[in-house]
Structure 1
Amino acid sequence: MSGRTDLSALLNFIAQEQLWHDRLQEVVGEHAHPMMEEFDLGSEELEELLGESATMLLWGCGFEDFLARRYPDGNIIDLYLKRRGWADTAANRAYFAALRDTPVSLYEVSDVRPGHSMVLRDLLTSADPVTVQEKSATQSLHQWDRIAVRVVPWEDHFVMSGAALPYSADATAMLLDALRDEDGSPVQVTRETLFGLAPLFTGIWLGTELERMLDQEEPEILNRDGDPLMFHELRFPFAKGVTQKQIAPVLNKRRDMMSEGSKSWVWIETGKTRHSTASEGYPVFGPVELKGSALIVNVDSAARAAKAEALITDLLGEVLRPPLTSIETVGQVSAANDATADADDAIPPELVEQILQEQMDLHYRSTLDSPLPMLDGFSPREAARDPSTRDKVVGWLKHLENGSARSNAAIAGYDFTWMWHELGVMDARR
C-alpha cells in the first residue's frame, strides 16, 4: 500500500466491524478465486507460486476495490471517516477519500525519471496524460511499460495507489479483447464503468502470471546467421614441443584474422560488409587467442564452431591437437561471469554484449523490410507510410523497445531511436 499513508487505524476499524470484514474477504476472493479455480490451486499453492510480495499485491488489489465499493448501507471509507476520522491525520483522510473515488485503469509509462516521477497515459479512456510523483516504482519501471493502477489526485499532484499490476503484452491484449462488444468493436469505457472492472484487471494479470510461472520456456535467441545462439569455446592444445611463436605468424598472414596484439586476433568475415558491426565494418565471427599452450577460439553457434574447427585444422593441424570444446547458453554465460568475474577463463561480458548488440542491430535492420503478422503482413516501412497502419508501427516499436529494456543487461541499453527516425514516426514517440 502507499507509503505516504498509515493504514493501521483503518485496518483495525475494518477488523472490528464483522460485516465489513466479511465484505472485504468476499471482494478479495473475487480478485483471486476465479483464477485459482481455473488453475486448480489452493491458497497455499498460490502463495508458494507467487511469493510473498505478489501475494500481498493480489490482496492489495482486492482491498483497494473494497474501499471504493458502494453498498446499499454505504461505503467503508465514509463510515470510517464519520466514526474514526477525527482521530486520524488530515493527510490520511484526504488520501482515503481520493482513493475511494478513483477507479483502476490501464496506463502506459513514459518519461521515467528514476526516483522522482513518470508520465502515465490512460489507454482506456480519453483522460489526459498525467505526471505522477513516485520514488520506488520509477526504479523498476521502463519506457512503454503498462501497469494497471489507480492514479490518485492528492494535494497538488498525482500519486499511484499501492496496488500496481505490471501488465505484459499478452495481458494487455486479453484486457482489450475483453472490452469489446460481440461485433468486435471496443466498448466505451468511462470512469464509472471502470469501478466495476477491478476484478477483471486482477484476474487477467493473475492468469497470465500463473501461465508464465507454470510454463517457463526459455525463448530461443539466434545469431545474425539465424543459428541458435550457443557459446562455443574451442581450445586447441599445442602438439609436443610447439610454442606460441610458431602459431602467431600463421594467423598474422590471414586476411580474416585481424590482429589485436601479439597473442590475440578477431576472426572476421571479409567477403562482405554490413551496417554497424565491429572491426572496421566487417562482421565478427569471434575472438582468437593464444593462452599458455593452447589456441582458443570463441564463437556463438554450433555452425561457426564447425567452421572454426575446419579452418584452424587446415591451417595448423600439424602443430595443434584436436580441440576440446565447451558449450554454454546465454544464461549460463551470464551466470558464470557474475560468479567468476575475475577468472582467467571467463568469457568477457563485453563479448557477450557485442554479439547480442550486433545480432539486434542486424536483425532489426533487415526486419524493417520484412512482412510482419503484427503489421497485417506489411513490412514496417510499408506500414509506416500508410496512415491506417502507422499506429501499429508505433505500437510495434514500443513493444520492441520495452522488451529490450526489460531483458538482460547485455541488450537492455540498445538504442532504438534510429528505427523511429528511419520509419518517420519519431513524432509519435511520446
Structure 2
Amino acid sequence: MAQAFDSVAAVSRILTEHGPLDEDDVIARIRAEGDDPEKRPGPVINEILCPARQLTDDRWVWLPKVLLGRVFTHRVRADEVAYDLLTVTPDLDPITELCLHEGYQQLADGSPVSVVLAEYDHQLLRQRGIPPEVIDPLGALLLLPPGTLSGLGAADGDLVGVRLSVSGLVIERVAAVQSPTDVGERLAATLDADKPTFLDSAVWTVCVDDPAVFTEPLPPLRDIIEDCGLVHDDDWLAPPGFDFERWRFERDCERLIRRYGLEPDDALTLRALVAVYDQMSAILEAAIGADEVPDDSSDAAGDDETPPDDPAGYRALAAAFGSALSDPLLAQLLVDETVGRGGAPAALGLFAETLEPQVARTARVAYRWLRAVALEQIGDVESAEREYLAAESMDTDWPPTLLDLARFASDRGDAERGLALLRRAGAGPGHPLTRILEQHRATPHTDLGRNDACWCGSGRKYKKCHLGHEQLPLDDRVGWLYLKACHHVFLTDWRELLEEAAEARAAHGSADAKLPAGVDDPLLIDTVLFEGGAFADFLAKRGSLLPDDERLLADQWLLVDRSVFEVEQVHRGQGIEVRDVRTGDVVEVHERTASGQLRPGQLICARVVPAGRTHQFLGGAEPVALHERDRLIDLLDSEPDPVDLVEFLSRRFAPPTLVNTEGDALTMCEATVKIGDSARIEALLDDAFDRADDEPHWIEHVTTDGMQRISATVALEGDQLRVHTNSEQRMDRVLAVLTRLDPSATLLDDVRQPVRDVHEAVGLAQQMPTPGAGAFDPDDPQIAQTLDGFIREYETAWLDEPIPALDGHTPRQAAEDPTRRADLIKLLDSFPVADGSTGMDADRLRAALGLQ
C-alpha cells in the first residue's frame, strides 16, 4: 500500500530493515519506493524529528533498534538519590539520547522522564526543589519521577541501570556486573588518533558490531574508559594521552581563519591573547567569589601588580604575542572575541593594565584603548573618554582611538570635530558616521564677519564664539539624536535583544533575521530602545555627553508610550493628523513619507513624540487591522517586551491559514479503495451519499454557514473506488463509511498533500476532478441566479453572526451601539465592490442595518 511520503516513517522503515546505511543509500532506497526526498524541503534524515544517529564511520542507524535490550550503568551519589536525578555524561549518554524524542520521554510504566540542562531548565529544577549546588551547570541530567531511586532501594555508591525494553526505558538497580572484557579495546578501535570522537557514536558503533555487548550490566562507561587508558572530556572520547586543550586551541584558530580571513600566524596570535583574557577573567571570577574585586575595572590591577596565579603561562604568551595588538585589526578582533561575545569588561580592563607595561612601546596605545573600551562597556563614559584621549596622545594616528573619539564628538553634537577625527582615521565618505555628521553640519552665518559680535548675544566676537561651532536647530537634530541611541544598541549587549526581535519579525518571511535587517526595519530598533529599555540605558550611560536641549528632548521621549492611532486627515507631502484611540488626543505629525501612504480612517501603531516645534513618528507606523485593535491595546497596556510586541505586529505578514468551510486544514487527499463486494456497492453508496448523475459518481455534502457544500467525491471504476477530499478529517470520515459499507474493502493508496499557499491550492484543485460536474459558467443566467440566492442568504445570516472585527458583536448589535457603529462602518467600507453576483454587497448590508 503506497502512503503519502513521510520522511521519518521512511527512514525508520529503511534503517530498521536494512541496518546501518550511509545517506546516499537511504535516499536511493526511498527513491526505489517511488518518491524523491531531495525534492522536499529540509534534510532527508532529520535528527531533530527522529532518533536516527550516525556511527563513527558516518553511517546512519535507527537508534531504538540498536539499543533495544541494552543496559548502561551509573554509580549514584547521595544527592542523585535524594533528588531522583542521574548525571548523564559519560555513563548514560548513549541511551539517554533517546529521551530527546517524544516517544521516549517516559518510562515503560508511563511515568515521565526528561533530559534537562541547568542553563535552560532552571524553572523545572526549581519546581522540583533541586538546589544549584548539586547540579553541574554544563552537564545534562536525567530527571526521574520522584521516589524512583529510593523505591529501588538505591543508596550512595550503588549501581543503577537504564535499559531499553520493548515497552520503553526501565530504571533498575544493578547488584552485580560482568567483566567488560575487550569493550575498552573495541571503543579504542573506533577512535581517530588526531581528533576526538563523540562518545555515544563510539558506543553505538561497538553495539552494531557486537549484538551481545551491553545486554548484561557492565561497569559504568566512565570506569571502562579510564581502566583502558582512554580519555574523555564532556561528551568527547579520545585515545590515551590526547591533548584536548591543544585540540580546542587549534580548532579555535581554524575558526578565526574562516570567520575573519586571517593569516594563520595572526589567528594564532589572536587566539593566544584571548587565552590570556580568559585567564584574567578566571582570576576576577575567583576574586569575586572571595569578595576581593573592586567595582571599577580601572582598579582591577595596578601597572606592577602580578596576578596571584599563572597556570596558563600568561606572561610568556604576553611576551610572545602582546605587541601584535599594535595592528588595529587584531585589537578590534580581540574586543569582538571577548566582551563582544559576552565576556566581562572588567577582565578586559585587567588584561590591558597587566600587559601594557610588558609590551613594546609602539603597542601600548592598543592597551590604553582596550582599557577605555572596558570602561565604556561598564558605562563609565567620562573615564573612558579620558582614556581615549590618553591613547590619542600616545599615537595620534591609531585609527581605533580616533573612531571612538569621533563617536564621542557626535554624541556631544560636534560634527566638525567628529569629521576631522574620521578623516585622520582614514574613514571615507561612505563610513556610516561620516554620512551622519555630514548631514548635520551647520552652515556658518554668512551675514557676520569674523570680528562682528556673535549672533548668540554673548558679547564676544563671532570668531571667538560660534564660528566653527555652529549648531543646527533642535528640529533638524531629531534624527541625529535618535541615531546616537541606535549606535548604543549596535555597540553593546542590546544587539542580542535586537537579534531576537529580528527573528520574531522574520517568522513569517517579513524580514531577514540577520542584524542588518534590524537596521532597515524601524520597528525593531525602536521596540528595543523603548519597550526593551535600551534608550533609558543610553541616557543613563551617555546622556551626560548630549547637548542640553537634546537631553531634555530625550527625557520627554521616555515619557511617551506607543499607542494605536486613527488617521483623521492627510496632508500629502507634509503631514497627517492622528487621534490616539486610547486617550482621544489629536496630534499633527510632520511626516512626508507616511503622508503619501496613509489614508483617513486607517489604524496604525506608532510612537508620536515631540520633535522640537513639531511631532514625529519614531519607529515607523505599523498598520493595524480593525479586528486586531482591541487586542493590541490590551497588549500595549500590559507593557510588553520587544519580542512579544514585534511578534504581534508581524502577524500581518503571516500567510492566510488555508482551511475548508468546516475549519479543517486544507490538504488535498486522494485514496483508492479496492471493493470486495462490487455487485452491491452501488446501492450501498446511494444510501450513504448523493449520486451526482447517472454515472457511478457520488458526492458527500455538508452544510456550513447555511449553505450546502461538497465535502467529498467518490467514483467507482471497476472494482475500485477513488475518493477525493480537501482535508484529512473528511478523508478519514469517508474511509470509515466505506469500511462500514464493505468490511472486506482494502485501501490501496492514500495520498495526502498539505496545501501551503493559495497558488498551490489553485493548482491542486484544478487537478482534482469533481465527478458529474460540467463546466461552470458564471454568466449562465440560471447559475447566476442560484449564486445570487446563496449570497443573499449568506448576507442575511451574516447580520446576526458574531464578527471578530466587531469584538465578537453581531453587525445588528454594532449598528445599534453608538460606541461600535463607527467600527461597523469601517468594516463595511473595507468590503470590495461586488462584481455581479460574486460577492457580498456592502450597500445592501448598509440598507439592512439602517446605515444609509
TM range (shorter): 0.3 to 0.5
Q: Decide which structure has the larger Cα Rg and report it.
A: 2
Taking structure 1 as the reference length, the TM-score comes to 0.44
